[in-house]
Amino acid sequence: MSIAQVLDLVRCPVCQGPFVLEPGRVICAAEHAFDLARQGYLNLLGRAAPAHADTADMVAARSRFLSAGHFDPVSEVLAGLLPRDEPTLLDAGAGGGHYVADLLSRCGGRAVALDISSAACRRAARIPGAVGAVVADAWAPLPLVDGGFDAVLSVFAPRQPAEFARVLAPDGRLLVATPRPDHLIELRQALTLLDVGADKDDRLHTALRPHFVLMSRQECRSLLHLDTATIHDVVSMGPNAFHQDPAALRSRIASLPDPQPVTLNVAVTAWTPASVG
């Protein structure tokens, strides 16, 4: 079971004590116990998932889209920024774990895939190798050990700089992937999707600078050619899924060229903890 291979990195969300693994559950010395789902993930959320958590349909759409390789340039840049071979990784807001699975297949190591969605962690728990899927809130204190990770990934995901700095090793790296204003611009305009703010870079830097120093910045830019089924997946795999009428979305997608040229433009930044930088 993969969670056993990363349990030393996980901490009780109630008392911050270490866990031991028992049949069907984990338990800390203070006897706070959490069940392991039969699918293999560990749920430490302690409450019902919020309404914005990814649904099973969103997770499936994302898996189809990413597995087709459309965002592989992002994975390639992330892999080149890892601090060493066989790293210990945290993917915070991992979704179904596509990026962490890709990185481990390239570089080896082990990882915690953390997401607030049990549907996402159910898929992440299928990843072969030393990947433990944990349901937890990336906006709350992370149920993870201090200084245990060589790299933290935040790919189109929430960021909690102070907690990221806490769980990173002193020489670790925070790797952040964020959309640029013209990312998927053709679809944003044609389908009235959520916008990407022009000040996104400034807000990222403002949030991270108290805890991190910028090491590098790269842009992944290319032109994709997406058919109508793939366009439906890319719209349905993220927050736009909560803001679209399904029938109206299908109608608007059907009116697009097939294939539709679509811009990929993602910025990948690498940061080191401020105490080191």
pLDDT of residue 48: 83
If pLDDT is split at 50, 70 and 90, which confidence band does 1 have? low
**3 state SS of 186:** helix
| Percent of the chain's residues with pLDDT above 70 | 99
What is the predicted pLDDT for the residue at 226? 97
Q: Tell me the average pLDDT of the chain.
A: 93
Q: Which residues pair with 237 in a beta bridge?
A: none
Which residues face 88 on adjacent strands? 110
β-bridge partners, 124:
none
User: Has residue 129 got a pLDDT over 90?
Assistant: no
The percentage of the chain sitting over the pLDDT mark of 90, rounded to a whole number, equals 82
Rg (CA), the chain: 19
What pLDDT sits at residue 200? 82
58: domain CATH number is 3.40.50.150
Q: What is the mean pLDDT of residues 170-185?
A: 95
- At 98-123, the pLDDT tens digits run 999 999 999 999 999 999 999 999 99
Q: What pLDDT was estimated at residue 50? A: 82
pLDDT of residue 66: 97
pLDDT band (50, 70, 90) for residue 193:
confident
Prediction pTM value: 0.94
Structural domains of the chain, count: 1
User: In which domain, by residue range, is 49 found?
Assistant: 2-273
Can you tell me the distance from the alpha carbon of 168 to that of 146, in angstroms, rounded to the nearest whole number? 7
In the predicted structure, residue 277 carries a pLDDT above the cut 50: no
Q: How confident is the model at residue 276 (pLDDT cuts 50, 70, 90)?
A: low
Strands (E), the chain: 19-22, 25-28, 33-35, 42-43, 88-92, 110-115, 131-135, 149-155, 168-179, 212-226, 260-273
> Residue 188: is its pLDDT beyond 70?
yes
- Residue 152: strand, helix, or coil: strand
Q: How would you list the strands of the sheet with 19-22, edge to edge? A: 19-22, 25-28, 33-35
* pLDDT tens digits, 19-76: 999 999 999 999 999 999 999 999 999 888 888 889 999 999 999 999 999 999 999 9
User: What's the pLDDT score for residue 46?
Assistant: 84
Distance of CA 249 to the CA centre of its chain: 26
pLDDT for the residue numbered 246: 84
